[in-house]
Structure 1
Amino acid sequence: MAVSVLGKNKQPLMPCSEKRARLLLERGRAVVVNLTPFVIRLRDRCLSDCALQPTLLGIDPGSKETGLALMRLEENATDEQAPATRHVLCLFQLVHRGFQIRQALEQRAGFRRRRRSKNLRYRQPRFDNRTRKKGWLPPSLQHRVDTTMARVDKLCRWAPVTHLSMELVRFDLQKMENPEISGVEYQQGTLLGYEVREYLLEKWGRECTYCGTGDTPLEIEHVVAKSRDGSSRVSNLTVACHDCNQAK
């Protein structure tokens, strides 16, 4: 992994290799600025003495972890219209604390509920004088935004970032199953007019999917088990008798 380098005026320069950073430190030409990630500052060079290359900071957001990648962009010398080649310099993994924040908020709510449930007639009400600002997010979600922005801001101070790229992943599951779906059809799904159990019974003819028996109570069963990351979508559900369900 490359080491971030700052000039003597604390301006970001192009990252260098770990070996070069070690030699600069041994020769007294650099000092350590940060340990994680490792950042050094040169004592004898500034931004005007160095040549910079375009760099890209890629962001892959997630609910539990966010991935960050610092890449150097190299233009194609033979074809100007071809996309630039990306050389990875550093990789980072940002772990979010959304679940811990949610647990802490639930614990705090329990303490407050206990305190406010006491018969304290002098205590002012607290349920009707709270307003939320426009754009409010739950603390567990706001934490993701704040920590990601803080980390990006630090990386931009330690590296000469010229481009930012964020991956936006959006899946239209209904479009994947029916490419012709549009308009109100999104609201008229598979379960229109049915409950889940009744729909499955109608779909499988009120018989066990595996043995075909119909004179016994039927249970809702996952085709791909939840222990194997099977979903609870209707397409992954079926009906089976108790013996077949347990045998599977």
Structure 2
Amino acid sequence: MSNFVFIIDANKRPLTPIHPGFARRLFKQKKAAIYRKFPFTLILKESRSDLTVPHLQLKIDPGSRVTGFAILNGAKVIWAAELTHRSQAIKNALLSRSQLRRVRRNRHTRYRQPRFLNRTRPQGWLAPSLQHRVETTLTWVNKLIKFAPTNSITQELVRFDLQQLAHPEISGIEYQQGTLLGYEVREYLLEVWERKCAYCGIKNVPLQVEHIHPKAKGGSNRISNLCLACDTCNNNKGTQDIKQFLAKKPDVLKRIQAQRKRPLKDATAVNSTRWTLLNRLKETGLPVATGSGGRTKFNRTRLQLPKSHWLDAACVGKVEELNVLTSQPLLIKAMGHGTRQMCGTDKFGFPIRHKSRKQIHFCFQTGDIVSATVTAGKKIGCYTGRVLCRASGSFDIATTTGRVAGISHKYCRAIHKKDGYSYGF
């Protein structure tokens, strides 16, 4: 059950994705050729005006580390992918740069005079690690729209409705007492309390929603007054106040009081970029719908689907039924385009090596995906993966099983040019 294959006609107009078996038949009959390896796309050798093009729906589940994509034809999931961001790598690189600059300033050597108020941030500015999530997601949205006749986009706008959770009395009795309320609350508590009992720390047992300040003594249903507890701790606590229950465990009491107010790092990152992503998606000209994380989990649980990012994407928004026709999503990982440094430095910022300005060697560039068939020597075999180029012509290939060094450029054949991503299944 692989992803359906994207197909475009001779005029590069997107057509309905086809089954892999039908794609192989077209390729063997020489009616189509490979247009792109990732995502796999065929191009017809002649223009077809009699083909009906149904409108597909693209669904997105934005995440802090991984973003899920799913393309639906009605209720059928025909294509899926998971995009892994490199936000932490960007943050670490910027932190390293700032530390090196700070060290240079403190050496009291010849250096430029400090400048002030020359880097004002525009309205809507996001940190580079957050902006990266938006840009990479939009890059793949534009690619998918180019290869699939998309009619609408659905985005998971919020993972948790924090305002409704913190103030359940504000408005909307149908929303508050509907079927989604329990999913919003439970999913939020599972993330805050790390899926373990708040009092004893036990994992992998049934957990119950427990009031920190007992409801019998005036405790509210606000999310800040809720935690997770195992059956034993919940029964032992009963209607006691938490200070009385944990009188002999001041460390646990202090941790719980701090953790109940701690914001979710991943949820905060998603909330910081959600509106920017929504506004950028609207610029594509397609209608954009939204849904919450609680509804996504409700749909996935009701349809008895396993937990994964691409299935979460398929369950975003209003879903009556799903027919999943793929079980092998495309795994995309953002790798970046390298650095512009002309001089390599050690961990203290001192230069140790020179970097060549030339990037293309023997028509290959570091980051290309190549297929190498070695017919002689100690490394006879077939290797496929990202290539590391050298001016000597001896390349390294990063395969799924590890890195293979010392492969001559004569055996290499490019199957996908460098675009800043690595791919897998």
TM-score with structure 2 length normalisation?
0.42
SS of the equivalent of 1:126 reads: coil
The whole-number CA distance in structure 1 between the counterparts of 2:69 and 2:169 is 36
CA separation in 1, counterparts of 2:243 and 2:41?
67
1:41 aligned residue? 43
Partner of 2:250: 218
For 1:85-234, list aligned pairs within 5 A.
86-120=75-109, 123-173=112-162, 175-176=164-165, 179-180=168-169, 204=241, 207-209=244-246, 218-221=250-253, 232-233=259-260
SS of 1:12's partner is: coil
For 1:147, give the aligned amino acid.
T
- Is the 2:70–2:81 Cα contact (8 Å) retained in structure 1? yes
Q: Aligned residue for 1:71? A: 72
Q: Is this contact kept in 2: 1:70–1:88, CA < 8 A?
A: yes
The residue aligned with 1:62 is: 63
Classify the secondary structure of the residue corresponding to 2:158. Answer: coil
Q: What is the one-letter code of the residue matched to 1:219?
A: D
Equivalenced residue count is 195
**In structure 1, what is the Cα distance between the partners aligned to 2:149 and 2:117?**
49
Q: Report the equivalent of 2:366.
A: none
Q: Identify if the C-alpha distance between structure 1 residues 205 and 147 changes in structure 2 by more than 3 Å, giving closer, same or farther.
A: closer
| Shift in Å, 1:126 | 3.5
Q: CA deviation at 1:49?
A: 2.6
Q: Which has the higher contact order (CA 8 A, sep 6+)?
A: 2
Q: Say which SS state the counterpart of residue 33 (structure 2) adopts.
A: strand
Alpha-carbon separation, structure 1, partners of 2:166 and 2:73: 39
* 3-state SS, counterpart of residue 129 of structure 1: coil
Q: Aligned partners of 1:6 and 1:15: how far apart in 2?
A: 9
Question: Structure 1 pair 204/115, CA: closer, same or farther in 2 (3 Å)?
Answer: same
Q: Tell me if the contact between 1:208 and 1:218 (Cα under 8 Å) persists in the aligned partners.
A: no
Aligned counterparts of 1:23 and 1:189: Cα–Cα separation in 2: 56
Q: Closer, same or farther in 2 for the Cα pair 1:134/1:52, shift >3 Å?
A: same
**Match of 2:260, as an amino acid?**
R
> What letter is aligned with 1:220?
V
Say if 2:166 and 2:224, in contact at 8 Å, map to a contact too. Answer: no
Aligned-pair CA distance for 1:175: 3.9
Structure 1 gap segments, 5+ residues each: 74-85, 183-187, 192-202, 225-230, 236-248
Q: Structure 1 residue 167: deviation in Å? A: 1.5
**Residues 143 and 173 from structure 1, CA distance in 2 versus in 1: closer, same or farther, beyond 3 angstroms?**
closer
Question: 1:122 & 1:222 partners in 2: Cα distance?
Answer: 48
1:130 alignment partner AA: R
Counterpart of 1:197 in structure 2 is none
Cα distance in 1 for partners of 2:46, 2:138 equals 32
Cα shift readout 1:162-216 (whole Å, capped 9, x = no counterpart): 111111125345744763258xxxxx9979xxxxxxxxxxx8485453xxxx6x6
Deviations 1:16-42 (A, max 9, x none): 000011111111111101112110001
Distance in 2 separating the partners of 1:173 and 1:131? 31
In the alignment, the residues of structure 1 paired with residue 223 and residue 16 of structure 2 have an alpha-carbon distance, to the nearest angstrom, of 53
Residues 57, 70 of structure 1: 8 Å contact kept = yes
Amino acid at match of 1:33: Y
User: What amino acid is aligned across from residue 7 of structure 1 in structure 2?
Assistant: D
> Which of these two proteins has the greater Rg computed from alpha carbons?
1
TM-fit CA distance, 1:50:
1.0
Distance 2:58 2:242 in 1: 55
d(CA) in 1 for partners of 2:132, 2:223: 34
Deviations 1:64-113 (A, max 9, x none): 1111111112xxxxxxxxxxxx2111001111111111111101111111
Identity score, percent: 39
Partner letter of residue 28 of structure 2?
A: E
CA distance, structure 2, for counterparts of residue 205 and residue 45 of structure 1 = 72
Label 1:207 to 1:65 Cα distance change in 2 as closer, same or farther (>3 A). same
SS of the aligned residue for 2:42 comes to strand
RMSD of aligned residue pairs (Cα, Å): 3.1
| Partner residue, 2:381 | none
Gaps of 5+ in 2: 172-221, 226-239, 263-425
